[in-house]
Structure 1
Amino acid sequence: MSAFLFTVPPLTGHINPAVGVAARLTAHGHRVAFACADPALVRRLAGADPEVFGCAGPVPGAAGAVRPPEMRGAEALKFLWEWYLIPLADAMAPGVRAAVAQFRPDVVVADQQAFAGALVAEHLGLPWATSATTSAEFTGAYDGLPKVARWLRLRLTELRARIGDPTGSADPRFSPHLLLVFSTPELIGPSAPSAPHIHYVGPSLAGRPATPGFPWEWLDHGRAKVLVTLGTANADTGGRFLTECLAALRERADRVQAVLADPGGTLLGTVGDKDVLILPSVPQLPLLARMDAVVCHAGHNTVSEALWHGVPLVVAPIRDDQPVVAGQVVDCGAGVRVRFGRVTAARLGEALDTVLHDPAPRAAAVRVRTAFRAAGGARAAAAHLERLAAESP
């Protein structure tokens, strides 16, 4: 049996796909561990079975760096790298080295935004796989931004000199040994790259910690059901958008019932009526099996989980990879895009009516669902990792 060390950033959407793969490997008798800057978050999402190594203290600069909600585009991307991803890699690197020394993995599975895992593994001569929890990097996102692309490459070169092997050459976002993409070309589109070491495995879905007390009996089987969510990292930006959503939903209360996730508490005063249920958190996976549409920020995990269930989307990207993912949803026909910062209740209502009543978005969502389920998910990802471990010296 082999040992696999998963290095992940302290972000729910990046940990959850790894959890499903780790569970498969554990079921096959392999040893599995995680290295993360937030061990408590990993334990909450992965349970008590895997060993978890804490591998960073406070991320330098990140605590005092609050990204303005209105920041978008290249400026937001630069902020993310300069104030979070690069400092996170520097902070994680010593702990990742210590975890490798103690756990002695045969393979390091490095999340695409946990650069320390890839660079430490390369420096130590360990085979490493990339866990690509968003497909934005595979769509030529920087083709029209050559200055941004050059800036990113320079930051990675400097990072390699500090924590990796200065003579190395692999981009820590793209393993030359094995690249696991938790999507499929049916969503990514024709730009999806092809190579023997690149494998499109579709979403990795695993059991999630239970959300206690969800009132399943509240759901009205006589009305279409809509989930509205902006994910776990956008509570500070969603007040206006959620308010417009609420207005659009109430105008359709005779035929639409909605569950609205509001972790920031923007609208919690309206909890409890029969038309819109507003909660700080919801059991997203089991809920999606009962939904007819999703309104979201185009986060990769939410989009993938909705399409896994064949549910069409209204997408309102905010920043980072979300505009790219939103473009994928629209291009494959599975949804409608609206402008997060300027959308009105009227426009949201039009978009919602389209995905609920036009058969084309649902048919496209079902096509992606078929591709996702055929790709194999966590089972396929685990098999590729086992093969990499078996073939490595």
Structure 2
Amino acid sequence: MSRFLVVVPPFTGHVNPVIGVAEELRDRGHEVAWAGDASVLARTLPGRWPVHDTGRAPLTPRSSGLRGFAALEHLWERVLIPLACWMEPGVRQAVARARPDVVLTDQQALAGALVSERAGIPWATMATTSSELVDPLAMLPQLRVWLAGLLGCLRTQFGDPAAEGDLRFSPHLVVAFSTTALVGDPVVPVHFVGPVRRRADGGGFPWDALDPARPKVLVTMGTENVDVSAGFLRECASALRDRPGVQGVFADPGHSLRDVEGAFVRVPWLPQQALLPHMAAVVCHAGHNTTCEALAQAVPLVLAPIRDDQPVVAAQVARAGAGVRLRFSHAKAAHIGKALDDVLTEPSFTAAARRVRDSFVAAGGACAAADVVERLV
């Protein structure tokens, strides 16, 4: 039996992919504890787990209008770097208490990498999004130098100043929840395991409202995008209203469609894992979890990325042939409708989604991830 400590940022989308790996390790008899914001973990982790609270980080809210470099600058200088500084004392205490043989740290929970590096503990990077694996700044050398400077200062303050390499990629192991069929060739050595399936919970959803005679389209823009996605959801509703042969199923946490007429299924929250096998297509913001969960069911996508890693993920899907990418700020009902017509009627999109799905299955999921992290002990 070995001891593992999982270090995660306070972002639900970065916790969910690792849960299945932690469950697999625990089922094999290992001790698994978590370090992170206890309030986030309390509503995210299923069942009871040992949790070492690192506190709620006072992160700077982001303006909904930030795009491009301004969004990237905010992400690193106002979120990820301050988060690492905030979490470091709590992660250091968690390591002292849990005495892990291996630390599993999310790519955006840099405190896990820093503490492990300084303590000489083997650590694995959990790449819960694929955007960093392809070096999105490869054509922007000045930005690469800027980011390297930020990470270097962080290492000097909290890590091993003599160490080399990028803190985003462990020299011991990088586990990515995707495959080369979607990502392409990574810029660092990576062990691809595909997405790890979450438990499907269909409770509370109006299943009787689904029409078995019509193909169904799931529309979800993520709970973190409520402030900017209302207009896009309404355009999607208009596109689907013009296509009565297709039924729309909307996740509408902000009640953006409360005054929109149409024979849609509209709920604040929906059981995505349970619904996806019933869907013919998904319209989303190219969030990594939603994208991979759809492709794991061979469901093609219409993607309207908003910020962060989403443009990179959307480009990967389009390159793989498994979906159509739209410009979020310019997409109107006509554009969305045309994209839906394409993915619903052109067989190549479903065929490409099946190829990605098959690569996910072959990658091994939680079992494969547990196998490789066990080898670090």
TM range (shorter): over 0.9
The match for 1:160 is 155
Amino acid at match of 2:350: R
Note if contact 2:198-2:273 (Cα within 8 Å) is conserved in structure 1. no
- Tell me by how many angstroms 1:226 deviates: 0.5
Note if contact 1:35-1:52 (Cα within 8 Å) is conserved in structure 2. yes
Structure 2 unaligned residues grouped into runs of 5+: none
Note if contact 1:228-1:258 (Cα within 8 Å) is conserved in structure 2. yes
| Cα shift readout 1:128-150 (whole Å, capped 9, x = no counterpart) | 00000011111131012111111
Note if contact 1:211-1:281 (Cα within 8 Å) is conserved in structure 2. no
Range with bigger deviation, 368-377 or 49-58: 49-58
Note if contact 2:108-2:168 (Cα within 8 Å) is conserved in structure 1. yes
- Tell me by how many angstroms 1:56 deviates: 2.8
Q: Provide the TM-score with structure 1 as the length reference.
A: 0.93
The alignment status of 1:266 with 2:256, answered yes or no, reads yes
Q: Which runs of 4+ in 1 moved over 6 A?
A: none
Note if contact 1:201-1:375 (Cα within 8 Å) is conserved in structure 2. yes
| Cα shift readout 1:184-218 (whole Å, capped 9, x = no counterpart) | 000012x32463xx21000011216x464101111
In 1, Cα distance between equivalents of 2:255 and 2:156: 43
In 2, Cα distance between equivalents of 1:72 and 1:381: 34
The alignment status of 1:103 with 2:98, answered yes or no, reads yes
Note if contact 1:19-1:45 (Cα within 8 Å) is conserved in structure 2. no
The match for 1:7 is 7
- Tell me by how many angstroms 1:233 deviates: 1.5
- Tell me by how many angstroms 1:97 deviates: 0.5
Note if contact 2:57-2:87 (Cα within 8 Å) is conserved in structure 1. no
| Cα shift readout 1:233-292 (whole Å, capped 9, x = no counterpart) | 111110111110110011112x11111112222223459x6x211111110011111100
The match for 1:192 is 186
The alignment status of 1:78 with 2:73, answered yes or no, reads yes
In 1, Cα distance between equivalents of 2:188 and 2:106: 20
In 2, Cα distance between equivalents of 1:228 and 1:385: 35
In 1, Cα distance between equivalents of 2:167 and 2:227: 30
Matched length: 377
Q: Secondary structure at the match of 2:55?
A: coil
Amino acid at match of 1:333: G
- Tell me by how many angstroms 1:49 deviates: 2.6
Note if contact 1:183-1:203 (Cα within 8 Å) is conserved in structure 2. yes
Pick the aligned partner of 1:225 from 195, 216, 220.
Answer: 216
Pick the aligned partner of 2:204 from 182, 207, 213.
Answer: 213
Q: Provide the TM-score with structure 2 as the length reference.
A: 0.97
Structure 1 unaligned residues grouped into runs of 5+: none
The match for 1:26 is 26
In 1, Cα distance between equivalents of 2:286 and 2:368: 25
Query: What aligned pairs does 1:33-48 form with structure 2 within 5 A after superposition?
Result: 33-37=33-37, 39-48=38-47
In 1, Cα distance between equivalents of 2:284 and 2:56: 32
Q: Secondary structure at the match of 1:108?
A: strand
In 1, Cα distance between equivalents of 2:167 and 2:49: 25
The match for 1:121 is 116
In 1, Cα distance between equivalents of 2:249 and 2:286: 17
Note if contact 2:321-2:349 (Cα within 8 Å) is conserved in structure 1. yes
Amino acid at match of 2:111: A
Pick the aligned partner of 2:301 from 292, 309, 313.
Answer: 313
Query: What aligned pairs does 1:209-358 form with structure 2 within 5 A after superposition?
Result: 210=201, 212-253=203-244, 255-270=245-260, 275-358=263-346
Q: Secondary structure at the match of 2:250?
A: strand
Identity over aligned pairs, percent: 52
Range with bigger deviation, 342-351 or 160-169: 160-169
The alignment status of 1:179 with 2:174, answered yes or no, reads yes
Q: Secondary structure at the match of 1:53?
A: strand
CA RMSD of aligned residues (A): 1.4
- Tell me by how many angstroms 1:163 deviates: 1.6
